[in-house]
């Protein structure tokens, strides 16, 4: 199995375009061998009979849906096997994420550099999509974009990995470049809200662009950017994996907890990202 050994640092070009646009694209960040391993695990989950339904568990993985036509989310996907564990501190993006979340040398790093507050695979078929959401106008602390005293301080940096080729008609991720700095609500927001049984998507929203990825590519973006997806119209399935990173003092977005068996398998660096603050044993206890 070939894999990068050293964390790739942020380049000056990446820093400039991330600050300008709110996202950068990382090409060929996953090897073909790693992709095959990830997809094989998802194939096994897809072949379950009856199919895994929202609310059901498969080991440490939870099937989840928001109730719309966004496809199915396999939450806590890093518990699905070693190939997903390897993504926690993948050298293709780990140093870049640390750079943009920021906080090195400050209280934010007291328990470690990062925490993954949500991780999932999303499987989406024809007719499915998700509408544009987020944006700088929201001013949400968890998703904030901030640059101060020569350093980035971003509340959430997402790595969205393509496990299948995602081109025109495949339901590509869509973003509105620079919207992480916007002070105003997009004028077409209400026109793109879901009406009746209509599927929300970002198609036709002025300023929104499709981000086309080959399998193995990833997009790194700050959650403050307005983002969503186009509606998939092609046959087949769009497969992505998203790991959301923030400062180590964060908490899970959903009420999940990692299993002790999972923590035991991880490297010390991975464990520090997944569980920055392990419970403090109450021993010795004079009242015990």
User: Is the sign of the CA dihedral 259, 260, 264, 269 positive or negative?
Assistant: positive
Residue 179: helix, strand or coil by DSSP? Answer: helix
Phi, psi of 69 (to 5 degrees): -105, 50
Question: pLDDT tens digit string along 206-232?
Answer: 999 999 999 999 999 999 999 999 999
Contact 199, 46 (CB under 8 A): no
Q: Where are the chain's structural domains?
A: 16-248
pLDDT at 198: 56
Structure tokens at 138: 């929201």
Question: pLDDT tens digit string along 68-84?
Answer: 788 999 999 999 999 99
CATH superfamily of domain region 16-248 = q2cbj1_9rhob like domain (2.60.120.620)
Residue 240: helix, strand or coil by DSSP? Answer: strand
d(CA 5, CA 275): 23
pLDDT at 273: 96
pLDDT at 285: 72
Structure tokens at 286: 């004079």
Question: Which residue do the tokens 């077409």 mark?
Answer: 188
d(CA 143, CA 182): 13
pTM for the model stands at: 0.93
Contact 52, 255 (CB under 8 A): no
User: Is the pLDDT reported for residue 191 higher than 80?
Assistant: no
Question: pLDDT tens digit string along 92-137?
Answer: 999 999 999 998 888 888 788 999 999 999 999 999 988 888 999 9
First to last CA, the chain: 50
pLDDT at 53: 92
Question: Which range is least confidently modeled, 122-126, 189-193, 269-273?
Answer: 189-193
Give me Rg for the CA atoms of the chain: 19
pLDDT at 2: 39
pLDDT band at 199 (very low <50, low <70, confident <90, very high): low
> Closest by alpha carbon to 1, among 26, 39, 25, 30?
30
């Amino acid at each position: 199995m070939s894999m990068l050994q050293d964390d790739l640092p942020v380049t000056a070009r990446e820093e400039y375009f991330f600050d300008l646009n709110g996202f950068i694209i990382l090409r060929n960040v996953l090897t073909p061998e790693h992709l095959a391993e990830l997809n094989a695990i998802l194939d096994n989950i897809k072949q379950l009979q009856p199919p895994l339904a929202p609310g059901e568990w498969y080991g440490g993985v939870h099937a989840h849906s928001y109730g719309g036509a966004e496809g199915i989310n396999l939450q806590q996907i890093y518990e699905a096997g070693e190939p997903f564990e390897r993504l926690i501190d993948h050298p293709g993006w780990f140093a870049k994420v640390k750079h943009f979340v920021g906080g090195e040398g400050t209280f934010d790093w007291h328990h470690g550099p990062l925490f993954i507050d949500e991780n999932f695979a999303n499987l989406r078929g024809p007719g499915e999509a998700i509408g544009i959401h987020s944006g700088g106008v929201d001013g949400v602390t968890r998703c904030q974009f901030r640059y101060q005293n020569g350093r980035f301080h971003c509340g959430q940096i997402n790595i969205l990995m393509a496990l299948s080729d995602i081109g025109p008609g495949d339901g590509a991720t869509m973003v509105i470049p620079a919207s992480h700095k916007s002070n105003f609500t997009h004028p077409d927001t209400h026109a793109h809200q879901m009406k009746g049984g209509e599927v929300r998507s970002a198609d036709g929203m002025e300023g929104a662009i499709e981000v086309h990825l080959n399998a193995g590519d990833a997009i790194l973006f700050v959650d403050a950017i307005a983002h969503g997806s186009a509606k998939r119209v092609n046959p087949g399935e769009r497969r992505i994996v998203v790991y959301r990173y923030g400062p180590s003092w964060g908490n899970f977005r959903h009420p999940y907890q990692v299993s002790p068996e999972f923590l035991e398998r991880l490297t010390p660096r991975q464990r520090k990202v997944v569980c920055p603050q392990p419970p403090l044993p109450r021993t010795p206890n004079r009242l015990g």
